[in-house]
Chains A and B, each alone.
Chain A
Amino acid sequence: MRHVDEGTLHELLDGSLARAETVRVEAHLANCGACRARLDDAHALVRETADLILTLDTPPAPPLASRPSVLRRTRWPAAVGWAASITIAVGIGFALHGPMGATGTPAAAAADAASAPSVARSTAAEAAPDRAKGPRQDAVRRAGSTASAGGNTVSVKTAHPANAPLPSRSASAPPEVLRMHPSAAVALDARAEARTRHPDSNTITLEDAIQRLGGSIRLIDGLDPVSVARVPGSMVEGADPRRDAILVRYVDPALGAIQLAQQRILAADSLDALAAGPSGNVASPGTSAMPAVPMQEALSTVSWSDGHGFQMTLTAMAPAGSLAALRARVH
């Protein structure tokens, strides 16, 4: 008999093939590896289609406005956190490597930042969709006192909403820390959120993350991860842009959404870290250039290397102090 056509294979799988025809087709399949392979493909297709259609039965999501507050707080960092991470990372890129990718060390950058603080701001209106992708325009550079924690390099950077007066910076001043008002960022682009949280784009299992990190992972004590994702290192402050970082998302009842990014430090990174020395850069709230804004509205980032081969970055909509406390719970 001729090979079994596609429609008949599906009819067989769907149980709609007449008995006599079923016997004939099965006899052919017993002797035809090619058709058996096609049957396997058809079977996989039938199952995948059935799964996809079942997905349509999913209960609808509540609209943003009626969600519990924890949900609302979770959603904006999905958009803002990413946008901010990207821009912060680029900003840090300036600090680390200079605007043209010139070599430099974190220590040098920190020293530069500390010795020549300059501040820029953008209004919420300026933070239009396209502008959000251009952190060089929408960044604020701010430097405060220098701090160290043990032998680890620590830097705390806080980006504030753009609703308080700040002196303008010159157009050429390299940005260090992005400032972006959450509401402005949320309004950036509805598609941005879908892009950044596409379920299949970067979500991985915890086991996969552990494997990628070489056998262990750092987590926040007392909090359950909401999701784990693999992201380009270039999107994470302090991370090696050439390698992926692992991003663990949490929701803390008090602090809202938290992102903990981590990456194994390779030998070359360790040398850089040693060269940088135990110094850090803290842009803490309350310095003279700081706007008087509610601290809980500020996006903070803490980066450090834990001394055991991990480069960590914590990001949350929380005061820097809370983030530092949270950092102590990362193990």
Chain B
Amino acid sequence: MNDLITELFRQYHPSVLRMLIRRTGDPDRAEDLAAEVFARAFAAPPQNPRPWLFAVALNLVREDARRASRHGRRLQLLKAETPESTETPADAYDRVERAAGVRAALDRLSERDREVLLLQAEGFDYDEIAATSGLARGAVGTTLARARKRLVLAYHAEQEAGIRATR
């Protein structure tokens, strides 16, 4: 039992955490949510762990967002950890700003679009995406295609807005 739990954690925690960071933009919050996901998994080990873990993780994000919204909590997007890096200030600025643009674009999508994109980015096949998100298997491709277009369009719209603002 302990071995199973340890293996589950070793195998899936990095992926769940990465998806949660991408989804929330908040590493600390993602850590908390990932810990909660695995606490639940340990309490009742799932049969088909990967879709289960990600479904729980995405549910927790939604619940947490509602709670945060009720309490008017401002989510802290940028944490005070100085990255050990040799990149130039300009590169760091561009990198962070690009990430902010992508995050803003992602925030403009529907919950379903966000989820299929992030699950696919974690290497989920369409069966797993369907199992995790509750989408019909046959709708995954169309949903993903649409979500990708929307993300790219939203990102370019963010860029356009930024460029217009500089003029």
Chain A residues packing against B (C-beta within 8 Å): 5-11, 14-16, 42, 45-46, 48-50, 52-63, 66-68, 70-71, 74-75, 78, 191, 194-203, 226-227, 249, 251
Closest 9 pairs (CB-CB, A-B): A7-B141, A7-B142, A16-B126, A198-B162, A11-B141, A61-B96, A199-B94, A227-B90, A59-B83
**Are B93 and A14 in contact (CB-based, < 8 A)?**
no
Contact B151 A56 (CB under 8 A): no
B16 CB to nearest A CB, Å: 14
> CA of A317 to CA of B120 in the docked complex: distance in angstroms?
48
- A26 to chain B minimum Cβ distance, whole angstroms, is 16
B106 and A56 contacting across the interface, CB-CB below 8 Å: yes
B75 to chain A, nearest CB (A): 12
Flag if A201 contacts B148 (CB, 8 Å). Answer: no
Contact between B152 and A49, CB atoms less than 8 A apart: yes
Q: Which residues of A have CB within 8 Å of B166?
A: 195-196, 198, 201-202
Chain B contacts for A226, CB-based, 8 A: 88-90
Q: What is the CA–CA distance of A226 and B91 in the complex, to the nearest angstrom?
A: 8
A53-B118 in contact (CB<8A): yes
Tell whether A53 pairs with B102 under 8 Å between CB atoms, given A62-B82, A195-B162, A195-B166.
Answer: yes
Bound Cα distance A191, B161 (Å): 12
Number of chain B residues close to chain A: CB under 8 A? 54
Pairwise interchain contact B82-A67, C-beta atoms closer than 8 A:
yes
Question: Which A residues are in CB contact (< 8 Å) with B144?
Answer: 7, 10, 14
Contact of A56 with B88 in the complex, beta carbons under 8 Å: no
**Do B96 and A14 have beta carbons less than 8 Å apart?**
no
B131 interfacial by beta-carbon distance below 8 Å: no
B141 contacts which chain A residues (CB < 8 A)?
A: 6-11, 14, 16
A58 touches B99 (CB 8 A): yes
Which B residues are in CB contact (< 8 Å) with A74? 89-90, 93
One digit per residue, 1 when the CB lies within 8 angstroms of any chain A CB and 0 when it does not, for chain B 150-167 equals 011001000100110110
Q: Which residues of the other chain, A, contact B66 by a CB distance below 8 angstroms?
A: none
> In whole angstroms, how far apart are the Cα atoms of A60 and B100 in the complex?
10
The answer to whether A70 and B165 touch (CB under 8 A), given A55-B102, A57-B21, is no
Could you list which residues of chain B lie within 8 angstroms of chain A, going by C-beta atoms? 18, 21-22, 25, 27, 77-83, 85, 88-99, 102-103, 105-106, 117-118, 120-121, 125-127, 139-146, 148-149, 151-152, 155, 159, 162-163, 165-166
Measured between alpha carbons, how far is A199 from B155 in the docked complex, in Å? 13
Given A15-B125, A58-B95, A61-B92 in contact, is the A10-B145 Cβ separation under 8 Å? yes
Instruction: Report whether over half of chain A's contact residues are helix, strand or loop; otherwise say mixed.
Output: helix
Residues of B within 8 A of A54 (CB): 121
- Partner of B81 from the list A10, A14, A58, A59 (CB cut-off 8 Å) is A59
Write out the residue numbers on chain A whose beta carbons fall within 8 Å of the beta carbon of B98: 55, 58, 199
B128 to A, closest residue via Cβ:
A16
Q: State whether A53 and B81 are in contact (beta carbons under 8 Å apart), knowing that A74-B89, A226-B89, A251-B89 are contacts in the complex.
A: no
Contact between chains at A6 and B22 (CB < 8 Å): no
Please name 14 further chain A to chain B contacts, defined as beta carbons within 8 Å, in addition to the given A6-B146, A54-B121, A62-B81, sorted by A numbering: A10-B144, A49-B148, A52-B152, A55-B95, A57-B22, A58-B95, A58-B98, A59-B85, A60-B78, A60-B81, A67-B82, A78-B93, A194-B97, A200-B159
A249 touches B90 (CB 8 A): yes
Q: Which residues of the partner chain A approach B22 to less than 8 Å between Cβ atoms?
A: 53, 56-57
Q: Do A197 and B120 touch across chains, with their CB atoms under 8 A apart?
A: no
When the two chains form their complex, are residues B159 and A198 in contact, meaning their CB atoms are under 8 A apart?
A: yes
| A49 with B151: CB separation less than 8 A | yes
Q: Which residues of chain A come closer than 8 Å to B93, judged between CB atoms? A: 61, 74-75, 78, 197, 199
Task: Output the least CB separation between B18 and chain A (Å).
Answer: 7
* A38 to B151 Cα, complex, angstroms: 18
Closest to A18 in B: B126
Q: In the complex, what residues of B have CB within 8 A of residue A70's CB?
A: 89
Q: B89 contacts A66, CB within 8 Å?
A: no
Question: Please, which residue of chain A has its CB at the minimum distance from the CB of B27?
Answer: A60
Give chain A nearest CB distance to B49 CB in angstroms.
20
Q: Are A6 and B162 closer than 8 Å at their CB atoms?
A: no
Question: B105 contacts which chain A residues (CB < 8 A)?
Answer: 52
